[in-house]
Amino acid sequence: MPLDEKSFVPLYYQLTEELRENIENGEWPPNSLIPSETELCEKYKVSRGTVRQALSQLVQEGLLYRKQGKGTFVAEPKITQQLNRFYSFAQDMREKGLRPSSLLLQKEKILPDSYIKNILGLKEEEMVYKIMRLRLADEEPLILETSYLVEELFPDLDKEDVEKVPLYDIILKKYRIKITRAKETFEPILIDEFEAKKLKIPVGSPALLVKRVTYTAGIPFEFRKSVVRGDKCSYSVELI
């Protein structure tokens, strides 16, 4: 469809949607080299600045990626997690045919700040285990995850190998904690320097901050913060 110069919709936005459709309908398959900036300028009768703005938008969204000296390519489809059910990262990745793994960055017992105390309903002197992990699929970092678990419910949790054994497997099988519900909130963010280093993407990249409070019999036992790469992951929910 030709772009409309008289439209109130900016040309770069119209072009972004045109190129997005090429990706979504399979005209440009994953890992294929897309036409050059010059070719796109000629095809859509727009300036190089307009093309670059559209391509930059799609790169930021994770639909395209650039290789220095080689051009711009179509990215692999994002990993989509369903919100209709309680999920774990390891289980979801295996279901998608990917190999999940974790890199333990921090595991210690701490006195939480007032924010976490309030969420978990803790008294002033009560402690939590803080576990920070980098979650990977096929060796690619996707999520920087920090969990805070009530110490009283998980004695000696610091001795467990949470790098090799999924945390929820430990919770369910060793501690016999039954998960009755979880509440999650989602917030768009731009990642900072520390997060960028761990996730191996540029500072300021778009991401999702997912906060989860997990309950057993109405009692909160875990507060989790996950910084999820926006260029690799998405979430979906089916409303019925």
β 128-137/140-150 pair status: antiparallel
Q: How do the domains of the chain map onto residue ranges? A: 11-74, 79-236
Question: Mind listing the pLDDT tens digit for each residue in 103-135?
Answer: 999 999 999 999 999 999 999 899 999 999 999
For residue 188, the one-letter residue type is P
**Is 11-74 CATH 3.40.50.720?**
no
Instruction: Calculate the alpha carbon distances from 225 to 16, 70, 91, 93 in Å.
Output: 32, 37, 19, 19
Question: Mind listing the pLDDT tens digit for each residue in 180-205?
Answer: 999 999 999 999 999 999 999 999 99
Confidence of residue 93 (pLDDT cuts 50, 70, 90): confident
DSSP string, 93-130: HHHTT--EEEEEEEEEEE---HHHHHHHT--TT--EEE
The CATH architecture assigned to 79-236 reads 3-Layer(aba) Sandwich (3.40)
The span from the CA of 156 to the CA of 164, in Å, is 17
Report pTM.
0.75
